[in-house]
Amino acid sequence: MVRKKTCVFISGTGTNLKALIKSSREYNFPINISCIISSSKKANGLNYAKIYKIPYYILNINNQLNVESILLMLRENNISLICLAGYMRILGKKFFNKFSGKIINIHPSLLPKYKGLDTFKRVLKSKDKITGCTVHYVTDKLDSGKRILQKKIFINSNDNEKTLKAKIQKVEYKAYTEAVIRMYK
Ligand code: GRF
């Protein structure tokens, strides 16, 4: 099996990145994490790039020269899948043109519910008893692309944003791995 070369985009702590890297080191996992892109040089997730010795780059989406050189790097490295993992910027049109149908994301709600930011706050305000996470294809419409996989968790009456986030992140790591396996089955 030839593993698909993959680039993971991050902005923050990178725990989903870590989970994907770990899965990618398992026998028969369909992708290999070839590079990491961060929207900030201060993202903690970059530590995983260093620990696991994976090349990383900083993407400044407002700098066209930088965008072009990142796109060139992705092409030269034959990247065929982009995984967004806590990437907090809107990807420009150029990425959608070049990687149409090849960009996926993980979102901390059961889409189509609670698209966008502040998910946990909105979930807690609702009367929902169940929430979860969704792995989906990325299109130019926010959190609206075709869903690949969802995982659910129960909301307890004493849950707060912190506990909800912790519970959801735990299932996110499994969801991202299972979604990637499902994509290439
Ligand atoms: C995840 O909870 C994901 O659902 C959302 O951003 C968070 C990123 O967390 N898109 P981490 O950087 O992977 O720890």
pLDDT digits (tens, 9 = 90+) for 10-62: 999 999 999 999 999 999 999 999 999 999 999 999 999 999 999 999 999 99
Which positions ≥6 away from 83 have C-beta within 8 Å? 6, 7, 8, 9, 20, 104, 105, 176, 180
Which residues, including other chains, have CB under 8 Å from residue 44's CB and lie 6 or more apart? 12, 13, 14
Helix, strand, coil percentages for the chain (3-state, nearest 5):
35, 25, 40
| Nearest residue by C-alpha to atom 9 in ligand 1 | 86
Q: Using an 8 Å Cβ cutoff, are 171 and 135 in contact? A: no
Q: DSSP secondary-structure letter at 91?
A: P
Q: Is the pLDDT of residue 127 over 90?
A: no
Which atom of ligand 1 approaches the CA of 169 most closely? 2
Is residue 16 within 6 Å of ligand 1 at its C-beta? yes
The DSSP 8-state label assigned to residue 134 in this structure reads: E
Neighbours of 63 (CB within 10 A): 11
What is the whole-number distance in angstroms between the Cα of residue 172 and the centre of ligand 1?
Answer: 8
58-79 pLDDT, tens digit per residue, is: 999 999 999 999 999 999 999 9
Can you give the residue ranges of every domain in the chain?
4-183
Burial status of residue 116 (CB atoms within 10 A of its CB: 0-12, 13-18, 19 or more): exposed
Q: Is 136 known to be catalytic?
A: no
Catalytic residue among 9, 19, 39, 107: 107
Q: What single DSSP character describes residue 140?
A: S
Q: 169 C-alpha vs ligand 1 centroid, how far in Å? A: 7
pTM value? 0.97
Q: Are 153 and 168 in contact, with CB atoms under 8 Å apart?
A: yes
CATH of domain 4-183: 3.40.50.170
